[in-house]
Amino acid sequence: MLKGKKILIGITGSIAAYKIPFIIRLLKKAGAEVQVIMTPMACDFITPLTLSTLSERPVLVDFYDKGDGSWHSHVDLGLWADLYLLAPVTANTMAKMVAGIADNLLLTTVLSARCPLLFAPAMDLDMYQHPTTQNNVKRLMEFGYQLIEPTKGELASGLHGFGRLEEPEVIFQRIVTYLSDNKPLTGKKCLVTAGPTYEPIDPVRFIGNFSSGLMGIEVANALADLGAKVQLVLGPSSLEVSHPDIEVTKVTTSEQMLSACLKYFSSSYITVMAAAVADFKPTIVADKKIRKADKLSTLELEPTTDILTSLGKTKRDNQLLIGFALETNQEEAHAIEKLTAKNLDMIVLNSLNDAGAGFGYSTNKITLLKTVGEKITFPLKSKKEVAVDIVNAILSLKSQPK
């Protein structure tokens, strides 16, 4: 898979450095050449001996070898690499990268490297959420560096939140996809919806749902990883989208989501509607806050437009349209009904009866139902992995469009 590819791995001083040997093993198994550079602090977390044994190359820490005095050229290293992975990267190193500081070999090589750079932060949740760190992450992305976002979970400090280094298999896959010469969706446009919609009742209240937007965002990431230019129409969500090939249109109401989808649908090869769109909205939106004294006892609602059905009506033969079905009973029967009624090529069914599936979880358990009658059931996985399964199934639906 990676035969002949040259990969530089820069390791900084974070406890997550213990995960890097797994990445090196995966890369070596895939045929890549791996050169490790460490900051001096990183050597306190994992020994250079472990890393040089696995990478089959001496690990570089200093600008020159104190034994024989030989010089380690950051320029040569930068020219040698097909990809530079910084993992784990600390808040300190990111801040130095933004400032252009080059006070160690790892950082100096960042400035010399001509190849793509992927950076995978790992730190405690408050450090990662700090405005300075967040600004630095954004700046690094503006430089064209690709972020491998930390995940949520238990941290070395015992706290719980965002800051865990992404899993070695996922980082490895990102590298494979990035270096792959024939990405199947290169030059294709895709449309994805994600998140809830909010239907206002008055200036301070709305009808909404618990969707976080994560499933749709991961589908957008998986499509973009395969070379697609993705238009993501995102309802109110607190999640960040960092892929350089995803353009985000933020919307609030189902009506806004509908008009954004109508704008992008006709030029889109694959459309995946993962958003949890409200089915009803208040008939009248009060222009002033409704007071307790108003004694409101009922709320008159009217149906929203079914966006997916509208798109299904104008779908051409060279387009693929995929919907979601979140069900609580007679799951499969309801999903199949939607598949036909909405003129879809495939529907992603998740049942709220499955533990760990649906809103609010970072995992999901899906069944894919295709128009051709095929059904594939998957075990519980992270939403990132589920998104890859969905996109792989989409690619198997049809050959490339006319």
Mask: binding to ligand CTP, 278-317, rule CB under 6 A, as x and -? Answer: -x------------------------x-xxx---------
Of the candidates 209, 318, 364, 392, the residue annotated as catalytic is: 209
Binding flag, residue 45, ligand CTP (CB under 6 A): no
Binding flag, residue 6, ligand CTP (CB under 6 A): no
- Give the nearest distance from C-beta 44 to ligand CTP in angstroms: 49
- Residues 6+ away with beta carbon under 8 Å from 274: 192, 193, 194, 215, 216, 219, 324, 348
Mask: binding to ligand CTP, 222-261, rule CB under 6 A, as x and -? Answer: --------------------------------x-------
- Give the nearest distance from C-beta 214 to ligand CTP in angstroms: 15
Q: Which is nearer to ligand CTP, 24 or 273 (CB)?
A: 273
Could you confirm whether 209 is annotated as catalytic? yes
Interface pick for ligand CTP out of 179, 224, 241, 273 (rule CB under 6 A)? 273
Binding residues for ligand CTP restricted to 336-365, rule: CB under 6 A: 338
- Give the nearest distance from C-beta 352 to ligand CTP in angstroms: 11
Total binding residues for ligand CTP by CB under 6 A?
A: 15
- Give the nearest distance from C-beta 195 to ligand CTP in angstroms: 10
Q: Which is nearer to ligand CTP, 21 or 282 (CB)?
A: 282
Interface pick for ligand CTP out of 268, 323, 365, 390 (rule CB under 6 A)? 323
What are the residues binding ligand CTP (CB under 6 A)? Answer: 193, 254, 273, 275, 277, 279, 304, 306-308, 323-326, 338
Catalytic residues: 209
